[in-house]
Amino acid sequence: MNTLLAVVISYLIGSIPVGVLVARTRGINIMEHGSGNIGTTNVWRNLGPVYGLFVLVMDMAKGVAAVLIGRHFGGVETELLAAFGALCGHSWSIFLRFKGGKIVATGAGVVLAISPAVTLAAGVVLLTTLGISRYVSLSSIMAAITVPAAMAFWGMDTLYIIFGIILMVFVIYKHRSNIQRILSGTEFKVGKGKKR
């Protein structure tokens, strides 16, 4: 019962569409601008870095909160199920008719609460990939791939590694349209003014 409660609460927290709410303060429906995504990158492109960074921090906070809630209600299993609940909430928000974002920031918050060291490793990979490719989407995918690898490298519990693999697959799945655009050469690159 405690596990179910943790998952439900975390799902509802994850469902809070921070990007949509922030954009509304500027009279913008962010789902109708740029890529249509509700996350940091699209908010940044359309409203500027201050708004984008705010969305990043708040979406990460949702992931951190989910892990802490799961920890409060139970053990590792509850913690990870609650984290997954928040990811599902962000991706399929009950407040957006089960539409949502690509879970990168919320996933980063989850990983940060689980292991700052793994988060640092993923962050280094993300920034390195971004510096080389200028693709935010590719950088996010590479960071997600780093998570289970780093967890395994540091000998973390098998359940965390399994969760890391699920998170990696989830991120790649949510970026499948970006992958297609990268292959076709039409994906947005940081530093280019044109919005996709």
pLDDT in tens, the chain (196 residues): 899 999 999 999 999 999 999 999 999 999 999 888 999 999 999 999 999 999 999 999 999 999 999 999 999 999 999 999 999 999 999 999 999 999 999 999 999 999 999 999 999 999 999 999 999 999 999 999 999 999 999 999 999 999 999 999 999 999 999 999 999 998 988 876 544 3
Q: How far is CA 183 from CA 41, 44, 65, 125, in A?
A: 20, 24, 36, 21
Amino acid type, 154: W
* CA angle, 57 then 60 then 65, to 5°: 120
In the 8-state DSSP scheme, what is residue 27? T
Strand ranges for 116-161 from DSSP E: none
Global pTM value: 0.92
How many whole angstroms separate alpha carbon 160 and alpha carbon 99?
A: 27
